[in-house]
Homo-oligomer: A and B are copies of this chain.
Amino acid sequence: MPKIVDHDVRREEIAQALWRVVRRDGVRAASVRTVAAEAGWSPGAVRYYFPDQEGLLSFAMDLVARRVGDRISAVEVEGSAMTIALRYLEEALPLDAERQAEFDVWLAFMAQAQAESGAGGLHGHVDAVHDGLRQLCESLLQSLSEAGGLREGLDLRREAELLHALIDGLALHSAIQPGRTTPARIRQLLRHHLETLLA
């Protein structure tokens, strides 16, 4: 009988090995060879799924996007529009070890995408994650507005851009100085910012 390979399971195994390499040694250490070694596979077996490093790195970036997206889809929360908005935004912020690792990966990809000249390659993946978070900010502010919670005359597009920049800035600061920009402090600052928008 031929051996039956579940390709989804194998891709998931590669994903896990890749995640471990990136967290431990940084994103540039992730190659077909190092990920194969980590997974206990031959390089050829990994190459069957990801022919080159760029394919592998894009896959890792997609992994981060999928994790964040899955968590946001799974949010179940009741309460004021403010409570709900904060709860969603928290899923995109590095408030625990797992989410800090995701942000580190995102940052490493971003820096690597910046270092590559021209568009394409990793840029498309960075753009997609970036656009997704901005849209989340827009739709949360829209919900707050429809719930009648926001001040009159706010330019929601502008406020979404500011909120998005603030979130990424806080995430960056928590990566730089985790002892100062703690999860508790991020929550306080974010709540204070949203409160300035309230009616």
Which of A75-102 touch B at CB < 8 Å? none
- Chain B residues lying within 8 Å of A107, measured Cβ to Cβ, are 110-111, 114
- Chain B residues lying within 8 Å of A165, measured Cβ to Cβ, are 166, 169-170, 172-173, 181, 189
A127 touches B172 (CB 8 A): no
Q: How many copies does the complex hold?
A: 2
The verdict on A196 contacting chain B, using a C-beta distance below 8 Å, is yes
The verdict on A9 contacting chain B, using a C-beta distance below 8 Å, is no
B193 touches A162 (CB 8 A): yes
The verdict on A51 contacting chain B, using a C-beta distance below 8 Å, is no
The verdict on A148 contacting chain B, using a C-beta distance below 8 Å, is no
The verdict on A26 contacting chain B, using a C-beta distance below 8 Å, is yes
The verdict on A68 contacting chain B, using a C-beta distance below 8 Å, is no
| Chain A residues at the B interface, C-beta cutoff of 8 Å | 25-28, 104, 107-108, 110-112, 114-115, 126-127, 130, 158, 161-162, 164-170, 172-173, 175-177, 181, 185, 188-189, 192-193, 196
